[in-house]
Structure 1
Amino acid sequence: MKVAVLTNVIPTYRKDFYNRVFTNESHEVTVFCQKSVPGSNLKPIHEQYGERVVLLKYWSPFQNDSLVFHFLPIFTLWKYDILVVDGNVRHVTMALLSTLFRLFGKKIVIWSNVYSAHGNSALQWVRRTWWRIFDNFLMYTEKDVEILNDKKFERKNIIAINNGLNQDEIDNTRSNWNKDKLEAFKKQHNIESQNIIISSGRVNKANNHALALEALQKVVTTIPDVLWVIIGNGTEIEVLKTAAQTEGLQNNILFLGEIYEEDKKSPWFLLSKVLIHPGFMGLTIFNSFGYSLPVIIHDNIMNHSPEVFLFEENKTGLLFKENDPVDLANKIIFALKNESKMEAMKQNVYNVVRHKNNTEIMSQQFFKMINTLK
């Protein structure tokens, strides 16, 4: 069976998923995508897959992915048995073509999520209304399936793909580190703190590192040796460094810059007791869970990505009041002072990514959907 996937790009974090999809012997899968996303830090890897990927030319009136017109090979796509299409109306020609193909009887699978952080409610309503002409939905999370059913899609064929990362790779990397090696790593980097917390992601206004810095001022009065490790770079990095100096926190913050290699990130995650993410939480939640690391995030769930629906308060981490540095500080102090409670959370978060949300499960769910359409 020939399957065409229409999406924006193939990012690095989906490498293992596409490796599994492309090596499946029962189905011939081809991805149609663009070379890059303007204004995004996504690192595409399409060049690794040769003829299994068809690059699309596109045009956008904006310098980002907010509205895109792809130039689609209509007659080539018609030859495929199934089209798996990004269910985003902002990808205008993909939306139009999938609608047209559906009207002519082609099997279409919408691959998407119900809500987007900071999404326009009117646009989300338009998207869900458009979706009603389709029968098959591959949703990011099980919560998306639940929400879609509540929106009277219960008679549709809906499967959760269970977004995740390559947990096998993370586990293999973790296995290279034991307690002695981690202690040696700390000495190598002149780290004496027994209370390390970590953040990973773009240092920009959306991720609100400034709020965490404000919270850190309160944390150090109770836990003087706390060390906040920051992985990432971005538009606010210099502002944050200056603020750290101004507030006298330079010895409590370690700026590591961008780190993409799993083996280089691994010791920092393993040395940390909790991951703090004061702003928009996205795929970082999978990386954190992969290292058995609970998370501290704000309580406005709709201002996070769909993956945050995997979070359960007091089971996989802690919630603080959005934009409240005092409450964030209190949650950090709680996490560092209540080791036994955090240990239970560590097992919970690992179970999520080991057994429910990872790229192996994603590929299984992907073909589960395809097989329902034979």
Structure 2
Amino acid sequence: MKVLFTFGGLPHYSNFILSRLNNIAGLEIIVVVPKRDTGTIGDGVMQTHEGVNFKIIYLKEYKAFYGNFFFKDFIAVLEEEKPNIIVTIWPYILGFASGIFLKKYLRKNNIKLILKEIPFHVSKFNNAYSYYKSKFSLQLNEELKQNEKVNWLFYVKHFILKHVRKYYYNKLVDATVNYIDEAYEIVGSYGVDREKIFISTNSPDTDLIFKANEEIKMLPPILKENPFRIVHIGRLVKWKKTHQLIQAIQLLKEKFPEIELLIIGKGKEQIVLELLAEELGVKENIKFIGGVYGNETLGRYLKASSVYVLAGMGGLSINQAMAFGKPIICSTADGTEKRLVKDKFNGFYFKDDDVNDLAEKIKTIISNNELKKLMGENSLSIIKEDVNVHKVIKEYVAAFNYVSGNSIAYKH
């Protein structure tokens, strides 16, 4: 069975999952990506060919009438590759929904279509207007700027959008693969049967992380021991709200003079954050490490830290920290955190944008070694038992079998 994915790029965290799918007997994976970056993938996301064992096809894109990009010569690729299943994402799903000839080609050749999404920033059908008018939604972008005005065009846009979604969920897509459990309610509100909704969660290749963890045990510490060291991993963009971590360090410095924040990642906000640290008098307590993507090096920094903290939007860094046995402190993110972080079990949630509450949660963990150890162990158990690479692959295979009627087996 041949499965073709359409992505906006090749982020390092996807390659290993796709390669493992490609290794399953009876599956062949192909990935179509743009020849140049057109903004479908986040600014500064690490892209690489590391871990790739599948075929990659690069296509030029064009800007469609609805304002988003789609691939040129896509049907020609389908004619050559003859996939049984296509897995696509937003906004490429709009190209399938609006492409008359493409839809005819899929029907004629019995090619099944799967939509992969979180779903993040997708409202329930009946509360689209109230959801997209909320401050959370209006500022849901990497710059935290209001991205649209609430006027008559706003209502027209979201009326059309929710009905376009209802159309493609029910008339075009054969199944959806989602990261979060709320997909049952969100996608279900558009009239989609529960059996068509698969929850894969989101995960890096946890087997590689566990292997790196064993190798790290043979290496010297990357930093000297400091029980008051916290760590943040992520691109340095505004919606990560890394500035709140620096503000929390200022609040905690008097009680914990040795407190230290490692910031692992790179981005255009670094200069702003460096200036903030200097302004608040905590420059010596903040260390900017830069981008780190290898499991071994990243793991060594995590092992040298007491707790992982995420103030804003996050991704797989929570999974990575938990796989290395770290407690987690976070607030509202993209929804994937709800499956990962259990309040008071393996970490804490702090009130959104409340630096005082964030500082209090950090203090609770770094001042209690027994709690820190227990929460770290609980984090690791969640990864081993529930959110890991095998869960992701199992759900993909289940979705492939559902839409195709096949019975490909995944064993690990």
> Which range, TM-score by smaller chain?
0.7 to 0.9
- Return the letter of the residue paired with 1:93: G
Question: Corresponding residue for 1:287?
Answer: 320
Answer whether contact 2:9 2:47 (CA < 8 A) is retained. Answer: yes
Which residue, 297, 322, 326 being the options, matches 1:264? 297
**Displacement of 1:344:** 2.8
* 8 A contact 2:184–2:194 mirrored in 1: no
CA contact (8 A) 1:4 1:83 kept: yes
- Cα distance between partner residues in 2 of 1:245 and 1:50: 46
Question: CA–CA distance in 2 between the matches of 1:203 and 1:52?
Answer: 31
Please list every run of 5 or more consecutive structure 1 residues that lacks an aligned counterpart in the other structure.
none
**Cα deviation digits, residues 138-196 of structure 1 (max 9, x gap):** 212334245434554235422222220011111111112349933xx43xxxx453211
Aligned pair count reads 360
Does the CA-based 8 Å contact 1:226-1:252 persist in structure 2?
Answer: yes
Deviations 1:190-221 (A, max 9, x none): x4532110011112211122221111111112
**Unaligned stretches of 5+ residues in structure 2:** 122-136, 142-147, 149-156, 406-412
Alignment of 1:109-188 (within 5 A): 109-116=114-121, 118=140, 122=158, 125-126=162-163, 128-129=165-166, 130-133=168-171, 134-145=173-184, 147-149=186-188, 152-178=191-217, 181-182=220-221, 185-186=222-223
Counterpart position of 1:222: 255
Go from structure 1 to structure 2 and tell me whether the alpha carbon gap of 1:207 and 1:371 turns closer, same or farther (over 3 Å shift): same
Question: Aligned-pair distance for 1:351?
Answer: 2.4
Deviates more, 1:136-145 or 1:223-232: 136-145
4+ residue stretches of structure 1 with deviation over 4 A?
46-51, 97-105
After superposition, the Cα gap between the structure-2 partners of 1:149 and 1:314, relative to the gap in structure 1 and judged at 3 Å, is farther
Cα–Cα, structure 1 residues 106 and 194, in superposed 2: closer, same or farther, change >3 Å?
closer
- For residues 275 and 51 of structure 1, the distance between their equivalents in structure 2, rounded to whole angstroms, comes to 33
Return the offset for 1:89.
Answer: 3.8
Q: Amino acid of the residue matched to residue 34 of structure 2?
A: Q
Match of 1:309, SS?
Answer: helix
Q: Which residue of 2 aligns with 1:9?
A: 9
Q: Provide the rounded CA distance (Å) in 2 between the counterparts of 1:38 and 1:73.
A: 17
CA distance in 1, matches of 2:207, 2:327: 19
* Aligned Cα root-mean-square deviation (Å): 2.9
Scaled by the length of structure 1, the TM-score of the pair is: 0.85
Kindly state the Cα deviation for residue 332 of structure 1 after the two structures are TM-superposed: 0.9
Q: Alignment partner of 2:239: what SS?
A: coil
Q: For 1:22-61, list aligned pairs within 5 A.
A: 22-38=22-38, 40-45=43-48, 49=52, 52-60=55-63
- CA gap of 1:103–1:345, structure 2 versus 1, over 3 A, is same
Q: Which amino acid aligns with 1:53?
A: I
1:248 aligns with one of 281, 287, 292? 281
CA distance, structure 1, for counterparts of residue 260 and residue 351 of structure 2: 22
Matched AA of 2:17: F
CA distance in structure 1 between the aligned counterparts of 2:164 and 2:259, rounded to whole angstroms: 45
| Cα offsets for 1:258-296 (capped at 9, x unmatched) | 112222111110121111111212222111212121221
Amino acid at match of 2:46: K
Aligned equivalent of 1:334, options 364, 377, 384: 364
Provide TM-score, normalisation by structure 2: 0.78
Distance 1:67 1:313 in 2: 39
Report which stretch shifted further, 309-318 or 278-287. Answer: 309-318
Structure 2 counterpart of 1:349: 379
Mapped partners of 1:276, 1:47: distance in 2: 28
Match of 1:18 in 2: 18
Give distance in 2, aligned partners of 1:94 and 1:290: 37
- The answer to whether residue 341 in structure 2 is matched with residue 308 in structure 1 is no
2:356 maps to a residue whose letter is: V
**267-276 or 103-112: bigger deviation:** 103-112
Distance 1:343 1:55 in 2: 47
